[in-house]
Structure 1
Amino acid sequence: MIILYTFISEEKHQSRLDRYLPAFSQEVNQNILRYRRWQDVQLSLLGKVLLQYGLKTYYNISDVETGVLPNKKPYLKDHHLHFNISHSKELAVCAIAEYPLGIDVEFRDPKINYQDFIFQMTARELQKIHDAEDKTKEFFTYWARKEAVIKAHGAGMMLPLDSFEVVNNECRIEEEKFFTREIFIHEDYQGYIASSDQKVKQDVLLFKRFEEEIS
């Protein structure tokens, strides 16, 4: 599995737009530029840049077309590779693998109070967070792990967070089993990957920070 990541930069915002937007279709550009905040525009753009760069660099795939499944999960057309993109605060990440997956990163915002989200937790999860020495870290561990599973499953907002539990990095949704694995990119962020394929548990993860000068 390849996990590419990068950070947004206000100083580089216009130069990044000028450099990378022409590589995508008008429809993709419209989707990127629909955001009001420059941060969201750049995060959206960089997610697509990471995918493009990863496919070209590690899989020798230059021309790729993405589609969207009925459940709104994006996929690569005419290729047996899978990808997933996530971003939070200033970090954008893209994971590419030979099996279906989900990835989620969350900025560990110290201002977040986990008590505001108790309606999205099971009683056991709430107790575990409450008993943790670092409640903020435990809350974002819970959140990123579940979001990664939801993205791997593909149900999106149709699957409530409190409808399943992840125990020992495994969970079951209906008749499908999912496996999760923690990833580390930056000390201020919590990250997880998930898949219905057990390969995710032992797969070698290649982390690569994307820099403009190597693109």
Structure 2
Amino acid sequence: MIKIYYTVFEKPLPDEMFCEYLNTLPDFIKKDVLRYNRWEDRLASLFGKLLLKKGLKDMEVSDSLDHLKFTVCGKPFVGDFIDFSISHTSGCSMCALTKTGKIGLDIEAIATLDISQFEKYFSKAEWNKIINAVAPIDQFFHFWTKKESVIKADGRGLNISLCDFEVVEDSVLLERKQWQIARLDIKEKNIKPIWLMMKGSI
């Protein structure tokens, strides 16, 4: 079973409320939240951690993040039997947890950008689908979030080159391991993200 939590926001929290929430976290996570300069990023990071605490509590395990650890590649984990992934974008944070297999999550707010600089991260087939799509930017994010989800679920992050594997419909094969893809669309006011969740079969 997979549990998914999300929250959206449009303005800063009052300072007192922000500090109250922040103080529920251990010091090393507080520092991680406060390293961001923009209030939007600080709040997104804070909410991501609070959603994780909520998810752990609902799964009837300790919601304390004091024992949060990191792999050599920087992937956070809380134990051997729960995997989770956190992602946030402009005005939104999301967390997914599972006791079965590995999970990766990536969300992006669709925005206008010059996609030509990203060609090197895609296979020739993927890039042709992007540039020949009716809405190239939407198609770009369609592939990008899938790829980001894969490397998060794998656990090695950017140590894996995005051009080293190809997205085919609803699955990805990475080094002989199959990853299944599910798309989650959540429509909120002023936010138009693409949501994709990846779960590896083991």
TM-score by length of 1: 0.84
Over aligned residue pairs, what C-alpha RMSD do you find? 1.7
1:53 partner letter: K
Is the contact made by 2:12 and 2:43 (CA closer than 8 Å) also made in structure 1?
Answer: no
Aligned to 2:176: 175
Which SS does the other structure have where 2:186 is aligned?
A: coil
- For residues 63 and 170 of structure 1, what CA distance do their matches in structure 2 show? 32
Aligned to 1:94: 95
Distance 1:24 1:118, change over 3 A: same
Contiguous gaps of at least 5 residues in structure 1:
199-215
Is the contact made by 1:13 and 1:38 (CA closer than 8 Å) also made in structure 2?
Answer: no
Aligned to 1:209: none
Is the contact made by 2:34 and 2:42 (CA closer than 8 Å) also made in structure 1?
Answer: yes
Aligned to 2:24: 23
Residues 22-64 of structure 1, C-alpha deviations (whole Å, 9 max, x = no match):
11111211111111111111111110000111221x2223443
Aligned to 1:202: none
TM-score by length of 2: 0.89
1:75 aligns with 2:98: no
Consecutive aligned runs of 4 or more in structure 1 exceeding 3 Å deviation: none
Which SS does the other structure have where 1:23 is aligned?
A: coil
Q: Indicate the structure whose relative CO is greater, using CA pairs within 8 Å and at least 6 residues apart.
A: 1
Alignment of 1:98-137 (within 5 A): 98-99=99-100, 100-109=102-111, 111-137=112-138
User: Taking every aligned residue pair, what percent have the same amino acid on both sides?
Assistant: 29
1:150 CA displacement: 0.8
Contiguous gaps of at least 5 residues in structure 2:
none
- For residues 28 and 151 of structure 2, what CA distance do their matches in structure 1 show? 26
Distance 1:159 1:13, change over 3 A: farther
Residues 147-191 of structure 1, C-alpha deviations (whole Å, 9 max, x = no match):
001101111111111110011222221132211111112261011
Distance 1:176 1:98, change over 3 A: same
Which SS does the other structure have where 1:6 is aligned?
A: strand
- For residues 35 and 169 of structure 2, what CA distance do their matches in structure 1 show? 40
- For residues 196 and 12 of structure 2, what CA distance do their matches in structure 1 show? 29
